[in-house]
Amino acid sequence: MSDVAERVKKIIVEHLGVEEVKVVEAASFIEDLGADSLDTVELVMAFEEEFGIEIPDEAAEKILTVKDAVDYIKTAIG
Amino acid sequence: MTRRVVVTGLGLVSPLGCGVDINWTRITNSESGIGAIQSFDVSDLPAKIAAQVPVGETSEGKFNADEWVPPKEQRRMDAFIIFALAATAQAVADSGWVPADEEARCRTGVLIGSGIGGLSEIARNALLAESGQVRRISPFFIPAALINLASGHVSIKYGFKGPNHSVVTACATGAHAIGDAARLIMWEDADVMVAGGAEAAVCRLGIAGFSAARALSTKFNATPEKASRPWDKDRDGFVMGEGAGVVVLEELEHAKKRGAKIYAELVGYGMSGDAHHITAPAESGDGAFRCMQAAFRRAAMNPEDIDYVNAHGTSTPLGDEIELATIKRIFGDAVRNISMSSTKSSIGHLLGAAGAAEAIYSILAMQTGLIPPTLNLDNPSEGCDIDLVPHVAKERTVRAVLSNSFGFGGTNASLIFKKFH
């Protein structure tokens, strides 16, 4: 896994209080990792802070899985 | 026929510790929960002391948030809600009440209030908003700070689907919450109510605000345990406290049917407004008088029936003497036979949680026949010449107790609990 993926995974584990093994690429924040809508807003904020990027609401709404997050961030930071 | 309301569970988080037993042991042992504030900078604040909940291991009677609320969930709530959940967990376990079906869950409600709510959260997020960091404001900020979210979290955790309510009456909150919850049971809106108050406003903004209102003690920063001294000549203000008190109230027949342990019956509840001043009590004591009078009327009891009064007694120059003079007026000759103390001398002023914590101490005084003392009452002010239980706890039979709470805005609440036979 890439550095971005590792950092994303760490944030998810911290914020959602889930076991690391459950945070696989295909995992959905809400369906698989027990997040609610407020958790996902906070997750996106944590990603913004960690990677120094701004994720617009329209883009944030499409970030539903671990892979979505990693892909978006990779593109955003170039 | 009026439905009778009894107390079947107690839960307490206070500056003396986490748990009812540790609280009772320490308060009747004349211990103080007041100390120097270590958790934030007080160098520019006039009051540098507070009664803070001791953090540590549960086995030592201290408060460990992780034991009551999973760390992930803690980010969703201000400390006052965590205190409320901890006190509720104790009270519910103590009562043994577990609703067996949907009907029972719908007959169980929650009414927990707070004087101020999530002040620390508000302060922290206000700084972000004012420094151009709006995007960093947490989605959990508002639900973490809202006062009724203590009741909300309790209902979600336990599935209590009855009335979900909250009270906000400053320092009378805890007493109003218990009194109002009892009425919901009397009016058949519920059979069981989880009721009380929670507060966690000991932060820079809270201390600064109450200091500005000239409400806090500032002369005893070097000797914190001496600062809260109700009725003493040297008193100079109250000491901010924090914590939560929660009781389980239950309709009498409901409690009997399941063989619940009954601590006491809540027989009297009175309320009134001073219509006088936003922070100062009316010098005539008129509001307090009518409040106690209403409680006696509701209880169909006379002052002679009361053995112990848990006073509001905050250690402020004005309030203590007005309350005492009013007690003398309402009790008449019977004042010679009562014992009255202020447990705020030990735990400080828990604001919205005060009335609930003090109701619990009052009930325990009745249960154990031991009255918690008024600490630091070295030289009583003129006219403070009744039994104020100075320095050490006092053994005596207690048939019934009166607990007073008065709040900013001129709001008053009195509760009367009676021994249940």
Segment A39-46 shows an average pLDDT of 95
Q: Are residues B238 and B186 in the same domain?
A: yes
Contact across the interface for A49 and B136, Cβ inside 8 Å: yes
Segment A40-51 shows an average pLDDT of 95
pLDDT band, residue B72 (cuts 50/70/90): confident
Q: Are residues B129 and B169 in the same domain?
A: yes
Alpha-carbon span B173 to B171, nearest angstrom? 6
**Does A2 have pLDDT greater than 80?**
no
Domain final position from B199, B233, B264: B264
Q: In this structure, what are the phi and psi dihedrals at residue B22, rounded to the nearest 5 degrees?
A: -65, -35
* Both structure tokens of B87: 């006190």
B139 contact A CB<8A: yes
Burial class (CB in 10 A: 0-12, 13-18, 19+), B164: middle
Q: Are residues B222 and B151 in the same domain?
A: yes
- Are B108 and B191 within 8 A, CB to CB? yes
B3 contact A CB<8A: no
Output the pTM of the full model.
0.96
pLDDT of residue B319: 95
Q: Are residues B78 and B181 in the same domain?
A: yes
**Does A33 have pLDDT greater than 60?**
yes
Q: Which residues pair with B109 in a beta bridge?
A: B193
Contact across the interface for A49 and B138, Cβ inside 8 Å: no
B133 contact A CB<8A: no
Segment B102-131 shows an average pLDDT of 98
Q: Are residues B89 and B228 in the same domain?
A: yes
Q: Are residues B38 and B90 in the same domain?
A: yes
Segment B229-249 shows an average pLDDT of 98
Report the topology of domain A2-77.
1.10.1200
pLDDT of residue B18: 98
Segment B317-330 shows an average pLDDT of 96
Q: Are residues B202 and B288 in the same domain?
A: no
Q: In this structure, what are the phi and psi dihedrals at residue B96, rounded to the nearest 5 degrees?
A: 70, 10
Contact across the interface for A16 and B72, Cβ inside 8 Å: yes
As a whole-number percent, the residues of chain B with pLDDT over 70 amount to 100
Q: Kindly give, in sequence order, each residue whose CB lies less than 8 Å from that of residue B134, ignoring residues fewer than 6 positions away.
A: B128
Contact across the interface for B139 and A38, Cβ inside 8 Å: yes
- Are B175 and B403 within 8 A, CB to CB? yes
Domain final position from B264, B287, B302: B264
Q: In this structure, what are the phi and psi dihedrals at residue B90, rounded to the nearest 5 degrees?
A: -65, -45
Alpha-carbon span B247 to B260, nearest angstrom? 14
Chain B CB contacts of A16 under 8 Å are 72
pLDDT of residue A78: 82
Domain count, chain B: 2
B74 contact A CB<8A: no
Q: Are residues B309 and B355 in the same domain?
A: yes
Question: What are the C-alpha distances in Å from A9 to residues A5, A12, A18, A29, A73?
Answer: 6, 5, 10, 11, 12
* pLDDT (tens digit per residue) in B379-405: 999 999 999 999 999 999 999 999 999
pLDDT of residue B1: 57
Q: Are residues B279 and B260 in the same domain?
A: no
pLDDT band, residue A52 (cuts 50/70/90): very high
Task: Annotate chain A with three-state secondary structure.
Answer: CCHHHHHHHHHHHHHHCCCHHHCCCCCECCCCCCCCHHHHHHHHHHHHHHHCCCCCHHHHCCCCEHHHHHHHHHHHHC
Whole-complex ipTM? 0.86
Chain A CB contacts of B139 under 8 Å are 38, 41-42, 45
Nearest CA-CA distance, residue B137 and chain A, Å: 9
B76 contact A CB<8A: yes
Q: Are residues B223 and B294 in the same domain?
A: no
* pLDDT (tens digit per residue) in A10-30: 999 999 989 999 999 999 999
Question: What are the C-alpha distances in Å from B249 to residues B31, B199, B367?
Answer: 29, 21, 17
B70 contact A CB<8A: yes
Task: Annotate B92-113 with three-state secondary structure.
Answer: HHHHCCCCCCHHHHHCEEEEEE
Catalytic residue list contains B171: yes
CATH number of the domain within which B232 lies:
3.40.47.10
Alpha-carbon span B22 to B346, nearest angstrom? 14
Domain final position from B222, B244, B264: B264
Segment B58-74 shows an average pLDDT of 94
B136 contact A CB<8A: yes
Q: Are residues B273 and B236 in the same domain?
A: no
Q: Are residues B351 and B241 in the same domain?
A: no
Nearest CA-CA distance, residue B77 and chain A, Å: 13
Chain B CB contacts of A49 under 8 Å are 136
Contact across the interface for B72 and A38, Cβ inside 8 Å: no
- Are B150 and B168 within 8 A, CB to CB? no
Range of the domain at B247: 5-264
Encode burial over B52-82: b for 16+ CB neighbours within 10 A, e otherwise: bbbeeebeebebebeebbeeebbebbbbbbb
* Both structure tokens of B414: 């009195």
pLDDT of residue B2: 86
Which residue of chain A has the CA closest to B138? A42
* Amino acid (one-letter) located at B286: D
